[in-house]
Amino acid sequence: MRALLTPLFLLAVSATAQGGAAPFTLLETGQGFTRLQDAVTAAGDRDATIVIAPGTWRECAIQGAGRLTFRAARAGTAVFDDVTCEGKAALVLRGRGASVDGLVFRDMNVHDGNGAGIRLEKGDLHVSNAMFLDSQEGILGGADAGERVTVDRSTFAGLGQCDQTLDCAHSIYLGPIGEATVTRSRFERGRGGHYLKSRAARVTVTDNSFDDTGGHKTNYMIDLPNGATGLVARNTFVQGRDKENWSAFIVVAAEARSNSSAGLRVEGNTAALAPGITRSPAFVADLSHQQLAVGANKLGPGVRAFEQR
């Protein structure tokens, strides 16, 4: 059914919502807007919530101030499709903070290979009940050591690339922020790069599913290139056949040791190779040469518990 939708149909859906009502509503005032950017501008530097009606929206917005919540009126029914601002993302965020709840982002592709649903340039970010589909990147950004990013109950599918540009894109790629938390989320069908790449000083990655059986030219499930402390626990990992790099599931400090990794706990996870695969990757590969706390993990045949490089 997705392939039968024409651009004219999508534009028609974008023009109406719930009987012709304005699709973007500023909750605090009840004011409706036909363009998402107009709603963001009207919110100004306040704490505000923009409620987004069901529909497929060829819209994008740049947040330059305030602390905004972008919330679907019904989770999973507000879809942002194939439109980016500044050649970056559907939502470019550089205010005091932002939350995204229940939105769907799909088909985000730009010239530099980093087309994302969300581009975080400033402020904390909380994402819940969201979907990021068939794009170059799901969530990208974060550069301040004081920032926190939290992702909960969200899906990342058909994301990443390493063959469109010199630098890879990933399902989630977070810069050197203070803390990254990813919980109860699903990663699948990667199209290159890593599923979760984070330069945060501290991470919490718990109760997620990383299913690489449908992946294509993928790399690590979790890459902590600068090292990190924190917890990786109760996740399920399945490594697929079509890998660009199958040497490890989780890699610590592959690029730098700018963050301490001492005491990073990796425990209570399940990791296996997809049926029919014969190889011997490490579950955790460490380049920090610090004392990690790799505890009991349930590993399938061929998966080695640990290696130091």
Q: Compute the Cα dihedral for 13, 74, 61, 204 and give only its sign.
A: negative
Q: Give the C-alpha separation, 177 to 143, whole Å.
A: 5
Q: Give the C-alpha separation, 1 to 79, whole Å.
A: 15
Q: Give the C-alpha separation, 91 to 36, whole Å.
A: 10
3-state SS assignment for residue 90: strand
CA neighbor of 41 nearest in space, from 66, 16, 23: 66
Task: Report the DSSP beta bridge partners of residue 271.
Answer: 237, 299
CA neighbor of 107 nearest in space, from 177, 154, 158: 158
Q: For residue 165, what pLDDT is reported? A: 87
Q: For residue 21, what pLDDT is reported? A: 83
Q: Give the C-alpha separation, 259 to 15, whole Å.
A: 48
Q: How many CB atoms lie within 10 A of CB 34?
A: 15
CA neighbor of 207 nearest in space, from 172, 191, 231, 177: 231
Q: What is the mean pLDDT of each run of 10 residues along the chain (309 residues)?
A: 35 44 96 98 98 98 98 98 98 98 98 97 98 98 94 98 92 98 98 98 98 98 98 98 98 98 98 97 98 98 97
Q: Give the C-alpha separation, 253 to 259, whole Å.
A: 8
158-179: burial string, b at 16+ Cβ within 10 Å, e else? bbbbbebeeebbbbbbbbbbeb
In sequence order, the 6+-apart residues with CB closer than 8 A to the CB of 20 are none
Q: For residue 20, what pLDDT is reported? A: 61
β-pairing verdict for 282-286 and 248-252:
parallel
In single-letter form, the type of residue at position 256 comes to A
The token pair that represents 32 in the structure block: 């409706």
The token pair that represents 300 in the structure block: 């399938």
